[in-house]
Amino acid sequence: MAIWKVRPLLQERIWGGRNLEAFGRSCPEGQKVGESWELVDRPEAQSVVEQTGQTLGSLWRGSERERIFGRRAGQGERFPILIKLLDAEEKLSLQVHPPAERAKELGGEPKTEMWFFLRTQPKADIYVGLKKGVGRAEFEEALATGKVADCFHRLETEPGAAMFLPSGRVHAIGAGNVILEIQQNSDTTYRVYDWDRKDGAGQPRALHVKEALASIRWEDVEPAFVQPRGERVLVCDFFKITRWWLMPGEDREVVPDGGTFRYLFVADGKVRDEGGEEWAKGAGRLVTADHGSLILQGVEESTVVQVEFV
């Protein structure tokens, strides 16, 4: 029974900035930090529990998987969810993740994900799905003429908004967005266009046009933001996300559920746990499935996002 802090893994990105410092991340001097991997079990990256020094992968593949992660953890080789913070100081590439039915033949992994917007600059937006009237022929013609961005549906963002991105939904994060991203454990991305941007060595960044065209769901037209039902933001095949609010001095009971772990993230404000420890904005905690009832109290007006298995 435990509440664990997990060490974030900062990732430099050409489109990143330093906005994650406002969420408690220490960005190395001179680096553009685009991602903070909060909960990850990948061959190339492992979350480490601060209190024990154990990796997420060793806990997942150990003898106490059900006790720690719950009865609904499943039998997969790796922890199936990856959680990140993203700082899009500049816009990202126009891209797509392969749907499950195409991923294997393309040599990749499917990735369904959700974006929860933490901070947005005025007029910040996202590119998501296709405009009405755009099919594969129109898309390929726009690619050839350098106008493919005109094929995308665009939406202005604001803090608290959420966007669901099933595998196959073509998308890009526009400049000026800080996002909590919850996704399947995958790192397959097919870039279809990158604004003629150069990498650190002055070379054009690699594109994956053939794979992207094979992955895009062409019927996916003009999607809307998620419309939460009360505290429930989203339930999909891979995760469940809820969001709740606390006023100063207000208590919230996190009711135990032996079927799943909980990952709690303070999206805004500050809360205090039963032991008196304060969780500031940007704090994340992994609560094991066997943990009993947990009481959190608002220190400031706060928003907490909870991630768990379905």
Nearest-angstrom CA–CA distance, 193 and 204: 11
Residue 171 assigned as binding residue: yes
185 lies in some domain:
yes
Question: Are residue 195 and residue 291 in the same domain, yes or no?
Answer: no
Cα 56 to its chain centre, rounded Å, is: 17
List 191, 243, 262, 285, catalytic entry? 191
Q: Virtual CA dihedral for 98, 125, 284, 267, nearest 10 degrees?
A: -150
Residue-wise pLDDT for 27-42, tens only, equals: 999 999 999 999 999 9
Question: Are residue 247 and residue 192 in the same domain, yes or no?
Answer: no
> Strand pairing partners for 242?
232, 306
Domain of residue 258 covers: 232-308
Residue 255 one-letter amino acid: V
Question: Are residue 79 and residue 179 in the same domain, yes or no?
Answer: yes
- Percent pLDDT > 70 in the chain is 100
Closest to 13 in 3D by CA, of 169, 156, 205: 205
Q: Burial letters for 148-170: b for 16+ Cβ neighbours within 10 Å, e otherwise?
A: beebbbebebeebbbbbbbbbbb
Per-residue pLDDT at 276: 97
The CATH code of the domain that includes 209 is 2.60.120.10
Q: What is the DSSP code (8-state) at residue 282?
A: T
Closest to 51 in 3D by CA, of 243, 268, 275, 267: 275
52 lies in some domain:
yes
Cβ proximity of 112 and 236 under 8 Å:
yes
Question: Are residue 8 and residue 155 in the same domain, yes or no?
Answer: yes
DSSP notation for 27-81? PPTT--EEEEEEE-EETTEE-BBTTT--BHHHHHTSTTHHHHH-TT--S-SS-SE
* Interval 257-279 mean pLDDT: 97
Per-residue pLDDT at 199: 87
Tokens describing residue 110: 């499917």
- Does 191 participate in catalysis according to the annotation? yes
Q: What is the DSSP code (8-state) at residue 100?
A: H
Tally of domains within the chain = 2
* Interval 184-192 mean pLDDT: 97
Boundary-marking domain end, from 215, 248, 263: 215
Q: Report whether pLDDT(256) > 90.
A: no
Q: Report whether pLDDT(122) > 90.
A: yes
Question: Are residue 244 and residue 130 in the same domain, yes or no?
Answer: no
Boundary-marking domain end, from 182, 215, 248: 215
Per-residue pLDDT at 39: 99
Nearest-angstrom CA–CA distance, 56 and 45: 10
Cα 235 to its chain centre, rounded Å, is: 15
Per-residue pLDDT at 309: 98
Per-residue pLDDT at 286: 99
Question: Are residue 64 and residue 25 in the same domain, yes or no?
Answer: yes
224 lies in some domain:
no
Residue-wise pLDDT for 147-186, tens only, equals: 999 999 999 999 999 999 999 999 999 999 999 999 999 9
Residue-wise pLDDT for 11-67, tens only, equals: 999 999 999 999 999 999 999 999 999 999 999 999 999 999 999 999 999 999 999
Residue 208 assigned as binding residue: no
Please count the CA atoms within 13 angstroms of the CA of 3 that sit on its side-chain side. Answer: 17
222 lies in some domain:
no
Strand 251-254: give its sheet, edge to edge.
Answer: 251-254, 294-298, 271-272, 278-279
